[in-house]
Amino acid sequence: METTLRGVGVSHGVAIGQVRHMGTAVLEPPAKQIPAEEAGREQGRARQAVDAVAADLTARGNLAGGEAQAVLEAQAMMAQDPELMADVDRRIAVGSTAERAVYDAFASYRELLAGAGEYLAGRVADLDDVRNRIVARLLGVPMPGVPDSDEPYVLVARDLAPADTALLDPALVLGFVTEEGGPTSHSAILARALGVPAVVALPGAGELAEGVVIAVDGSSGEVFVEPGEEKKAELTAAAAARKAALAASTGPGVTADGHKVPLLANVGGPADVPAAVAAGAEGVGLFRTEFLFLDDSKKAPSREKQVEAYRQVLEAFPEGRVVVRVLDAGADKPLEFLTPADEPNPALGVRGLRSLLDHPDVLETQLAALAEAAEGLPVHLEVMAPMVADRADAKAFADACRAAGLRAKFGAMVEIPSAALRARSILQEVEFLSLGTNDLAQYTFAADRQVGAVSRLQDPWQPALLDLVALSAEAAGAEGKSCGVCGEAASDPLLACVLTGLGVTSLSMGAASIPYVRAALAKHTLAQCERAAAAARATDSAQEARAAAQAVLSGE
| Cα dihedral 418, 421, 425, 430 sign | positive
Q: Which neighbouring-strand residues pair with 16? A: 215
For residue 486, give the amino acid letter.
Answer: C
The three-point CA angle 435-438-443 to 5° equals: 95
User: Among candidates 190, 265, 193, which has minimal Cα distance to 509?
Assistant: 265
Beta strands at 263-267 and 222-225: parallel, antiparallel or unpaired: unpaired
**Phi/psi of residue 224, nearest 5 degrees:** -100, 120
Please tell me which residue in 12, 186, 359, 524 is annotated as part of the active site: 186
Please tell me which residue in 486, 497, 524, 529 is annotated as part of the active site: 486
Rounded to whole angstroms, the Cα distance separating 33 from 364 reads: 53
**Residue 483 annotated as catalytic:** no
**Residue 486 annotated as catalytic:** yes
Rounded to whole angstroms, the Cα distance separating 287 from 326 reads: 9
Instruction: Specify the 3-state DSSP secondary structure of 3.
Output: strand
Q: How far is CA 191 from the centre of its chain?
A: 10
Please give the C-alpha separations between residue 273 and each of 90, 100, 480, 511, in angstroms, as whole numbers: 45, 43, 30, 9
Rounded to whole angstroms, the Cα distance separating 460 from 441 reads: 7
Rounded to whole angstroms, the Cα distance separating 74 from 407 reads: 32
Q: Please report the DSSP string for 200-236 in residue order.
A: ES-TTGGGSPTT-EEEEETTTTEEEES--HHHHHHHH
User: Among candidates 180, 182, 176, 160, which has minimal Cα distance to 459?
Assistant: 182
User: Among candidates 235, 250, 271, 237, which has minimal Cα distance to 16?
Assistant: 235
Q: Which residues are catalytic?
A: 186, 486
